Structure formats: structure tokens, C-alpha cells
Amino acid sequence: AAPNGSPLKPIQIPALGLGTFEAAADDAGRCARAVSHALRTGYRHIDTAAAYGCEAEVGEGIRDSGIPRGDIFLCTKFWQQWHAPEDVARSLDESLARLQTSYVDLYLMHWPLAFERTDDYEIRTREDGKPVVNEELSSNHEPTWRAMEELVRRGKTRAIGVSNFNVEQLKKLLSFARIKPVCNQVEAHPWLPQKELLEFCRENDIAFVAYSPLGSQSGPKTMHTLTARLLEDETVVEVAHRLKTGPAQVLLAWAIQRGTVAIPKSSNPKRIDDNLKVIELGKKDFDLIDQITVRDPLKRNRLVNFDTVWGVNCFGDE
């Protein structure tokens, strides 16, 4: 997708990327090795964020891989404390320094919800431990978006987009965007198919990027609504068994065949390789996976639930 009105040539997002959320929790150097390995294996899309704390390792991995920067689609995001227009540019400059590059391909507003500004990556909390929300910048994204548009004009990023936005928030954004958001990155997998949001993105030519496509179980314990694992879902396992492949391959095939971009995280070289071996599901198997929450509505769940981590409504859910 090309940002409307942008003088840049259209850019393409590779359908499969390497996620790096929680990669900082791995041993030192592991994220850099994962990124370098992934690029040498054939990945051309790396997803990271200032908040993940691993941008320096991502930069190291890119450099070590020997793959030319121009061949790589690199995405990063700015953190919630830095939604003020003057902070957005500063945040990207700091990310670029850590990533050892002069531009990113995609720069995302990580959350629709802005927290009160702090100079470091700490979140300022109230007495009850909940973050102090900046209501103004959370309810009106225009000032933040204008600052992001400026970064496209200055060549610091080739495209801009958002993450964790719902349909209502996207509609508002589209009403004032001079440079269109090229993507919305949200949690999506067979237990959270987000069909209405996907449909809206399709109609508006916004790429739908699925994070936690394998049903991530890493991260703070409070983040997880469920202890059940998507990789152990009986339908996913049954289809994988029949096709003589792994559950991850079935989940990624489903994600890609429905037209979304998937960014599975792995720091394990074998799993990094496996996740790139995209298989194709026949219609019957695709439908079996697609209908999991239709057959069993109780399975519908957000697995990466920051509402429970922060105690505030992060997703604008009713």
C-alpha cells in the first residue's frame, strides 16, 4: 500500500515477518542472533518497538546478517508516553540510533491510549498503581498523526500506521489523515479472528498485521486471560497431524490465506526456519480453523491483554 499523496513509490509489506516482542526477556544476544538468523534464512520483514527494549539487538542482527538494509522491511513503534508531537520525532531519532539505520519502512503509533509524558520509558502511575492517561491525546489522535506525517515527508520513515486500533478509532483517523495509515497491527489468531476489523481494513486498503498469531504465552503472567494454549487447540492439532506438519504452520497458513500479515516471534533458530515454511490449507481445513470460535464461542479470547496489566481500557472495548 502506498500512503495517499506521498511522493514515495508504493511499498510492499512481506506477508510473514519476525516478531520481537519479549525478545528482550531472552538471554543477552539472543534477539540479535534470531534477527540475523531469520534474515539469512530468507525473512525480509522485522517487527520491533521502542517498548520491547531490543531495538539495539535488532540493529545488531541486521548488521551481522550482511543483508542490505534496502532489502529489509523494518517496522518500529513509539511508546505511549511519547504521543506529544515534539516527542514523536525524538522517539524515532532514538529508535533509529539504536537500530543503526537512517530510516524505517514503517513507523507505528503503538497504542491509541496515550500515557502521561515521562522522559524515560517508565510509566507514571497513580496511587492505585494505574497509569496516568493523557485523555486529550488519547481521544484526539490528530496532533500525534500530524507529527508522524511529517516524518514521512522528512524521509525518516517510508510509511506510517497504527497498532491496537478498533474500527471507530480508525474511522476517526481516516477522517483527518493526509497520509493514510498503511496498516493496523493487532492481536489476531483463530481464537481472536477480528473479522469485523479485518473487513473494515480490507474495505479501506489498510494492511491488517496480526501479532501473536501463535497465541503468545510469553510476557507478564497478568497479561494472559487464559492458560490454555492455542498451539494445543484440538482442531489446530488435528489438522496439523493430518497434514503432517506442525500447529504453528497451520496457524500461519490460516493467517496468510485470509489476507493478513503475520509476525510470529521466535528466538529459536529451528522454529524461525519452520515458521517461514508456509504451507497451504485446502478450503475444508481453512474453514475448520476459521470456524473454531463459531463452533465454540467460549474460545474467543484476547490472549495478550494489557487491560489486565495496566488496569485501564487499552483497546477501547465497550
Catalytic residues: 52
CA diameter of the chain: 54
How many residues form the binding site for ligand A2P (CB under 6 A)? 18
Shorter beta-carbon distance to ligand A2P: residue 49 or 92: 49
* 215 belongs to the binding site for ligand A2P (CB under 6 A): yes
* 49 belongs to the binding site for ligand A2P (CB under 6 A): no
Q: List all residues 6 or more positions away from 50 whose beta carbon is below 8 Å from its beta carbon.
A: 76, 77, 78, 79, 82, 91, 94, 95, 110, 121
Can you tell me which residue has the cell 545488531? Answer: 60
Shorter beta-carbon distance to ligand A2P: residue 38 or 99: 38
From 83-91, 121-129, 146-154, 263-271, span contacting ligand A2P (CB under 6 A): 263-271
* 231 belongs to the binding site for ligand A2P (CB under 6 A): yes
Residues pairing with 268 in the sheet = none
Shorter beta-carbon distance to ligand A2P: residue 25 or 89: 25
Q: Which three cell numbers stand for residue 116?
A: 502521561
* 213 belongs to the binding site for ligand A2P (CB under 6 A): yes
Shorter beta-carbon distance to ligand A2P: residue 180 or 224: 224
From 89-97, 113-121, 133-141, 210-218, span contacting ligand A2P (CB under 6 A): 210-218
Q: Please, what is the minimum distance in Å from the beta carbon of residue 23 to ligand A2P?
A: 8
Nearest to 74 by CA among 51, 100, 94, 53: 100
Handedness of CA 211, 213, 219, 224 (dihedral sign): positive
Handedness of CA 73, 4, 77, 121 (dihedral sign): positive
* 268 belongs to the binding site for ligand A2P (CB under 6 A): yes
Q: How far apart are alpha carbons 149 and 17 in whole angstroms?
A: 24
* 266 belongs to the binding site for ligand A2P (CB under 6 A): yes
Shorter beta-carbon distance to ligand A2P: residue 77 or 158: 77
* Out of 144, 163, 212, 305, the residue judged to bind ligand A2P by CB under 6 A: 212
From 133-141, 146-154, 190-198, 265-273, span contacting ligand A2P (CB under 6 A): 265-273
* 235 belongs to the binding site for ligand A2P (CB under 6 A): no
Binding to ligand A2P (CB under 6 A): which residues in 274-303?
Answer: 274-275
Shorter beta-carbon distance to ligand A2P: residue 3 or 17: 17
* 214 belongs to the binding site for ligand A2P (CB under 6 A): yes
Position with the least CB separation from ligand A2P: 216
* 265 belongs to the binding site for ligand A2P (CB under 6 A): yes
* 8 belongs to the binding site for ligand A2P (CB under 6 A): no
Q: How far apart are alpha carbons 298 and 318 in whole angstroms?
A: 18
* Out of 41, 125, 134, 218, the residue judged to bind ligand A2P by CB under 6 A: 218
Q: List all residues 6 or more positions away from 115 whose beta carbon is below 8 Å from its beta carbon.
A: 80, 81, 123, 124, 131, 132, 133, 134
Q: Which residues bind ligand A2P (CB under 6 A)?
A: 19, 212-216, 218, 231, 246, 248, 264-268, 271, 274-275
